[in-house]
Amino acid sequence: MDQPPDTPRIGVDEWVASVEGKRERYTGVRGAVLQRWERLPPAARVLVFAVPAAVFPFVTSEGNLFRFGLFTLVYALLALGLNIVVGFAGLLDLGYVAFFGCGAYLYAILASPQFGYHWQAEAAIPVVVLGTAIVGLLVGLPSRRLLGDYLAILTLFFGQAFVVFVNNANRISFPFFGHVDLTGGSNGIANIDPFNFFGFKIDTTRKQYYLLLIAVALVLILLAFVNESRTGRAWRALREDPLAAEVMSIPVNRLKLLAFVFGAGVAGLTGAIYGTIATAALPGDYDVGLLITIYAIMILGGFGSIMGIVVGAVIVSSVPELLRSSANARPLFYGAILIAILVKLRPWRLLAAELGGLVAFGFAIHAVASAAYPRLVHGQSIGSGLFARGLDHWMLFPSNSVKIADVAYILLVAAIVMYPQLGRLWRAVLLPPLLYLVMFVWENLLLVQIGGATRLILLGAMLVALMNIRPQGLFGTATVEIV
């Protein structure tokens, strides 16, 4: 049947049709990889992650395994649990890290010299998971009546309350037991036992790594089953549209609570494992910084996408570790900028003109500064090697960089906010100075403080930028808004 080209096809949802169109548009290397990937059976997709993960301990040192392997897996587990709450049920749980802390402290109470209990892991883990889930239930109950945003603030408050509580719970007096030191206050609980399964101790980094891998696999399998179950379908339904779900007689409140408790349970399990890795439960470990990290992982991966979370965990846990030293940070930073420019500036003539402009601008500024204000070029760039020494002849390094760099940083933030408001021509003309400013701030301020604030600044900026570019996350699928 012939149809005029502009009318929608009858019986085919417009959005579904456009997705197929998008899939057909995959071209080039990326398209070939994506098509190959989508044709793989699920088991093979799992192998793509499982094989490198299983081999990893044999190709790296103990220290690297601890820094990269263990933390990636802990983050992945946490993000998987959070994904149930946020990705499936659509609840914004900002107290999630407190459940993680609950798990660690509960296990610490059950298996450390603090109270003299030394439970076997097979008994302690169920108790910890159940206990954390019950805490989750108690927190979730009052928020049952709440709209989504109120839940966010309530849980955020709960997270804070948890930190205050464990910081001070070493001087609580209970009605019947008298004075009890429950959490060790700000010193935390030290010397937590390693897991002890029927006499088999998980006491080396490699054993812990495999234990975590097994835990991740178990949670993934559980998620896969839940995803296909009635409950999983109902969760997705209520994420898309709670009102429609309720009309379909899905018990919205009960399911939300269930998701919340489920997430808390996973966090509790992770907390117990983390407790044995760190061998101590400290109040500072369960604060907002970790919460942001976990959210960054989940968002980077995309809400509700399990594969995305694994990739996100690898990126978010390893990039800040790599950023710790300026030798690694510099190539990463310039590489990211270069890629962004290569992707954004399309006709190659424009790209060449901008890059040439940047180089020329740098030399011009450097020449003017060394003639007029020699103090501006007295400093040196951090590190050694050809690149660093070359930078000395191109970039400004003021001898008292702190104050100038602070001003430059504020200028840079203002410039980046203003930049998208400009017209096309101005944007093209002002790009080299802007890039130069970015590099100036990077070399003089951010690289100097690479171990401290820089990483979180980059994380925060990344969150905002990602939400601007792709609100559904890297691997998430855009939800359809039907008006």
Partner 1 sequence: MNWGLFFDLTVSGLTLGSLYALIALGYSMVYGILKLLNFAHGDVYMVGAFLGWYALHALGGPLNPTFTGAVVLLLMFIVAMLGCGVLGVAIERFAYRPLRNAPRIAPLISALGVSIFLQNSALLIFGAAFRDYNTFALIGVKTYSIGQLFFSVPQLLTVVTAIGLMIALTVFVARSRLGKAMRSTSFDREAASMMGIDVDRVISVTFFIGSALAGAAGVMFALVFGQIYHFMGFIAGLKGFTAAVLGGIGSIPGAMVGGLIVGLAESYATGYLPQGSTFQNLYVFALLILVILIRPSGLFGRAAISKV
Residue identified by tokens 């009605």 is: 175
What is the number of other CB atoms lying within 10 angstroms of the CB of residue 247? 10
The least CB distance from residue 44 to partner 1, in Å, is 31
Closest CA to 295 of 183, 462, 176: 462
Please say whether the beta carbons of 317 and 68 come within 8 A: yes
Which of 77, 85, 86, 311 lies at the binding interface for partner 1 (CB under 8 A)? 86
Q: Which stretch binds partner 1 (CB under 8 A): 219-227, 267-275, 354-362, 466-474?
A: 466-474
3-state DSSP assignment of residue 197 = strand
State the binding string over 243-262 for partner 1 (x if CB under 8 A, else -). x-------------------
End-to-end CA distance of the chain: 30
Q: Which stretch binds partner 1 (CB under 8 A): 57-65, 203-211, 362-370, 406-414?
A: 406-414
Q: Residue 471 interacts with partner 1 (CB under 8 A)?
A: yes
Q: Residue 461 interacts with partner 1 (CB under 8 A)?
A: yes
Residue identified by tokens 């191109």 is: 394
Instruction: Note the helical H segments in 111-198.
Output: 121-143, 148-168
Report 277-306 residues binding partner 1 (CB under 8 A). Answer: 288, 292, 295, 299, 303
What is the number of other CB atoms lying within 10 angstroms of the CB of residue 331? 12
Please say whether the beta carbons of 463 and 290 come within 8 A: no
Which of 75, 158, 260, 436 lies at the binding interface for partner 1 (CB under 8 A)? 158
State the binding string over 87-116 for partner 1 (x if CB under 8 A, else -). ---x-x------------------------
Q: Residue 147 interacts with partner 1 (CB under 8 A)?
A: yes
Which of 65, 154, 396, 450 lies at the binding interface for partner 1 (CB under 8 A)? 154
Cβ proximity to partner 1: between 116 and 420 the closer is: 420
Burial class from Cβ neighbours inside 10 Å (0-12, 13-18, 19+) for residue 134 reads: middle
Q: Residue 205 interacts with partner 1 (CB under 8 A)?
A: no
Q: CA triplet 275, 281, 285: central angle to 5 degrees?
A: 100
Q: Which stretch binds partner 1 (CB under 8 A): 8-16, 219-227, 256-264, 457-465?
A: 457-465
Backbone Cα Rg of the chain: 26
The least CB distance from residue 427 to partner 1, in Å, is 15
Alpha-carbon span 134 to 151, nearest angstrom: 17
Task: Number of residues interacting with partner 1: please give it, by CB under 8 A.
Answer: 58
Cβ proximity to partner 1: between 110 and 139 the closer is: 139
- Amino acid (1-letter code) at residue 467: M
Q: Residue 75 interacts with partner 1 (CB under 8 A)?
A: no
Alpha-carbon span 331 to 5, nearest angstrom: 50
Please say whether the beta carbons of 301 and 79 come within 8 A: yes
The least CB distance from residue 443 to partner 1, in Å, is 14
Closest CA to 170 of 158, 157, 187: 187
Residues that bind partner 1 (CB under 8 A): 86, 90, 92, 142-143, 145-150, 152-154, 156-158, 160-161, 164-165, 168, 171-172, 243, 288, 292, 295, 299, 303, 406, 409-410, 413-414, 417, 420-421, 445-446, 449, 452-454, 456-457, 459-464, 467-468, 471-472, 479, 481
